[in-house]
Amino acid sequence: MNRDKTINVKIGNISIGGSNKILIQSMCNIKTSKTKEVIKQINECAKLGADLMRVSILDIDDARAIKEIKKGINIPLIADIHFSYQFALECIKSGVDAIRINPGNIGTEDKIKLVVDACKKKNIPIRVGVNSGSLDKSISNKSSAKALVASAEKHVKILEKFGFTDIVISLKGSNVKDTVEAYELASKKFKYPLHVGITEAGPSEIGLIRSSCALAPILIKGIGNTIRISLSNDPTEEIIAAKRLLHDLGLYPNYPTLISCPTCGRTQVNLIPLTTKVLKYLEDNHINKKVAIMGCVVNGPGEAKECDIGLAGGNKEWVLFKKGKVIKKLKDKDIFNNFVKEINKIK
């Protein structure tokens, strides 16, 4: 996949843009001043594959907590700031790796300049984070792709006027079509890395569908340098979802692939719970193989012949196959443990 070339922006010890891989991030859902809980959540997300984490800054205690949080984590930390340039300055003082400001509500140009000057001194990048819920009112009161881009452009120009170019841009709408169009326009207008996502995507099932509908066409066109799949759920679920999406688009190769049939009246084995357990085992143990679980011989070795290993269900038993070749039969009883043993034999 050919990807858009942007400038390279350093955040902590990693780089966004250029030819770098697409980075995965999420956001803590705990008040930032609760440092022990926040550190635990960030480290859980990092273990699952998060490259970056963001925390919200509601008050001065949150801003000052950055210093303690940084001591307990190993991935870059982004402070999310609305309304208060003072909180941004305190986060910078506390050692944050990047800040995200919403240009529609951060304040006047003189206040933005104070933040820019502080970021310059410590080589801290700024994400210009535009979203449909808080557009710059001088641009538009109504969300649209052009309004999102125009709002970003206005505030990028302010940063550039102050000689600042360590910029990342996001243009998140809650409407799929507006978001896709906004990122397509932005990729042609800006040289800066783009953080891609849908804002206010919703609870898990809805959020996954809505985010996939928007992110897939954007990423397939080579647009985007870092992503978040926003869900009304635990941040760890966002990391898992992001890896699965990137993997299916061929952008996250070192990850397991599981295919399984939807089941029908021919199914004579308990396929659905087995599939859930096998997927969790593959992901938890970083087994980067292609695995199939099929409910009958119709969808068995033939349709899954490219898989490294698979099962096809029958009458209370399973056929085990590798690369489409039937190896042996396994009883339905204790099938999970037996299948795991076979998976672990694959080199």
Residue 181: CATH number of its domain: 3.20.20.20
Q: Each residue's pLDDT tens digit in the chain (347 positions)? A: 678 889 999 999 999 998 899 999 999 999 999 999 999 999 999 999 999 999 999 999 999 999 999 999 999 999 999 888 899 999 999 999 999 987 667 778 888 899 999 999 999 999 998 887 666 666 666 668 898 899 899 889 999 999 999 999 999 888 899 999 999 999 999 999 999 999 876 788 898 999 999 999 999 999 999 999 999 899 999 999 999 999 999 999 899 999 998 888 777 788 899 999 999 999 999 999 999 998 877 666 667 778 999 998 888 889 899 988 888 999 888 899 999 999 999 87
225, 130: one domain = yes
171, 244: one domain = yes
1: in domain:
no
218, 285: one domain = no
51, 168: one domain = yes
224: in domain:
yes
17, 83: one domain = yes
Q: Look at the chain and report how many structural domains it folds into.
A: 2
Whether the CB-CB separation of 69 and 55 falls below 8 Å is answered with yes
79, 117: one domain = yes
Q: CB neighbours (10 Å) of residue 284?
A: 10
2: in domain:
no
Which residues neighbour 91 within 8 Å (Cβ) at sequence distance 6 or greater? 57, 63, 66, 79, 81, 99
pLDDT score, position 137: 67
Domain CATH for 288: 3.30.413.10
244: in domain:
yes
- Residue range(s) defining the domain that contains residue 299: 257-345
Query: Can you give the length of the chain in residues?
Result: 347
Between helix 176-189 and helix 145-161 the angle, nearest 10°, is: 40
218, 281: one domain = no
73, 169: one domain = yes
220, 312: one domain = no
* Token pair for 243: 């890896």
pTM of the model: 0.90
With 0-12 / 13-18 / 19 or more C-beta atoms within 10 angstroms meaning exposed / middle / buried, residue 126 is buried
